Amino acid sequence: DAGVTQSPTHLIKTRGQQVTLRCSPISGHKSVSWYQQVLGQGPQFIFQYYEKEERGRGNFPDRFSARQFPNYSSELNVNALLLGDSALYLCASSVRDSNYEQYFGPGTRLTVT
Amino acid sequence: AQSVTQLGSHVSVSEGALVLLRCNYSSSVPPYLFWYVQYPNQGLQLLLKYTTGATLVKGINGFEAEFKKSETSFHLTKPSAHMSDAAEYFCAVGNNAGNMLTFGGGTRLMVKP
């Protein structure tokens, strides 16, 4: 079975631009979570979506938004990019919203110049 | 609020030696605890988890961890290090709702031949 997939693998953006990252969960998983991992640090929770509804939100500014589609895939949007947004963005899926067993994708490496 | 502290950002051991990676947590509720491994340019892979029950938890690749409530610790061990164990290891605690992981800063394990 395919694991969590994310696209693109890498991208480079300029300060002030907007970016959209995509995630497809494992088949049968209805929950998707997003994490930001700055180089040299542990991942930080951004959002969790379950059945297309936001179920959790971390301490991130409103420039960060996300949504989940009927097929349970998800997009993370970041507006007005800052240099500090440069990070590895990880998507994780789980069967349901209150299931700790999260499976992570390989991540999208975002570089903001 | 929950937090995780991993003592030692870098640990170096010889091949065949004991691996000990330290993790202390802070949680206001009975904790759910996890260890993840991250290989270069990859996402996170779950090594093991503690939710309830037996305090000694066995995971993949010969790793195990012991939950010690009195010490608020969840240290990761492996009796004999292998070159393939070289990676970044993250300890995490789950929140009460089951939808968010709080990670420590990570420990990079280096294995010398």
pLDDT in tens, A27-36: 999 999 999 9
Average pLDDT, chain B: 92
Average pLDDT, chain A: 93
Model confidence at A100: pLDDT above 80: no
Please tell me if residue B49 touches chain A, with a CB cutoff of 8 Å: yes
Residue-wise pLDDT for A5-43, tens only, equals 999 999 999 999 999 999 999 999 999 999 999 998 999
CB contact under 8 A, B98 and A97: yes
Of the candidates B43, B51, B105, the beta carbon closest to that of A107 is on B43
Please tell me if residue B92 touches chain A, with a CB cutoff of 8 Å: yes
- Three-state secondary structure readout of chain A: CCCCEEECCEEEECCCCCEEEEEECCCCCCEEEEEEECCCCCCEEEEEEECCEEEEECCCCCCEEEEECCCCCEEEEECCCCHHHCEEEEEEEECCCCCCCCEECCCEEEEEC
**B46 contacts on A by Cβ (under 8 Å):** 101-103
CB contact under 8 A, B34 and A100: yes
